[in-house]
Structure 1
Amino acid sequence: MFNKKAVILVVEDSALIRMSAVDLVLSAGYEALEARDADEAIRILEARADIDLVFTDVQMSGTMDGIKLAHYIRDQWPPVKLIVASGQAIIEDSTLPTGSRFFAKPYEDHAIADAIARMLSSP
């Protein structure tokens, strides 16, 4: 039986950091999609039903930041897992949707890869 690769959407406005995060996702064995901001991320989520996890930055240009995006995703696509990262602020878990994980930047790649694996293996 063929196992589908999990699909992870990386949302990051910095091209360099986005490329690095996409590389992390690919090297961990997942399919990676990318968006420059929340608006693009929402368009991708609306167009595809196979996204398993969104890995988003907090501070970005556009109509909403990563925290608002995380709450929007939780409301619209409840099964999608969420990882939120920020280099500017430490985000309290209580400000994120239930089940989300927060990582301060700079994060360690293996910590993100481990979190993705754990989150995708839980119902």
Structure 2
Amino acid sequence: MHGHQSVLLVVEDDFLVRLTLVDALGDMGFEVLEAEDARAALSLLCDHPEIDLMLTDINLPGGSDGFALARAARVIRAGLPVIYASGRYNRAEPHQQVSGSRFIAKPFTPTLAVAVIADLLGGDAARGPFRPEQIGTDRRV
């Protein structure tokens, strides 16, 4: 798979948080798709089988939270790696999470996000232009 750029789906309803995260991950060599709610995220998952991982906020508008979104996403893509993020919780209850998922508390740095992404993708986070030395920004999302 040499030369393949990892494709991430970022689901975040706060425009500025989403913009910051999408820009930071894009600067680190990822291809990033974005959605502001669960409906848009599921549509992207159906239309883009190349998505390698989903990072979702837990609190989403429209009556669906990140936990429900992840369960629905796993119906579409059984092995999709999932990262939950929240500024309201400092951890996620394991029984709410899909298997193999991770949680990160907001605010977090892109460095932390990339470390968790790399762990979930087997250490091959951005199969392409990303290099670990690119990590170093102190921006928090």
Deviates more, 1:12-21 or 1:1-10: 1-10
Q: 1:121: how far off? A: 2.0
- Matched to 1:84, the amino acid is Y
Q: 1:32: how far off? A: 0.4
Higher alpha-carbon Rg: 2
Name 1:110's counterpart in structure 2.
Answer: 111
TM-score by length of 1: 0.91
1:32-43 counterparts in 2 under 5 A?
32-43=32-43
1:1-123 counterparts in 2 under 5 A?
2-89=2-89, 90-121=91-122
Alpha-carbon contact 2:8-2:30 (below 8 Å) kept:
yes
- Cα distance in 1, alignment partners of residues 25 and 104 from structure 2: 15
For residue 73 of structure 1, give the secondary structure of its aligned residue in structure 2.
Answer: helix
- Matched to 1:15, the amino acid is F
Alpha-carbon contact 1:70-1:82 (below 8 Å) kept:
yes
Q: 1:107: how far off? A: 1.4
Runs of 4+ deviating beyond 6 Å: none
For residue 52 of structure 2, give the secondary structure of its aligned residue in structure 1.
Answer: strand
For these two proteins, the number of residue pairs brought into alignment is 123
CA shift digits 1:36-66 (9 cap, x unpaired)? 1000000111111100000100111124111
Q: 1:120: how far off? A: 1.2
Alpha-carbon contact 1:93-1:102 (below 8 Å) kept:
no
Instruction: Give the alignment's Cα RMSD to 1 decimal.
Output: 1.8
Alpha-carbon contact 1:83-1:101 (below 8 Å) kept:
yes
Structure showing the higher strand proportion among its residues: 1
Structure showing the higher helix proportion among its residues: 1
Alpha-carbon contact 1:5-1:29 (below 8 Å) kept:
yes
Which stretches in structure 2 are left out of the alignment for 5+ residues?
124-141
Which stretches in structure 1 are left out of the alignment for 5+ residues?
none
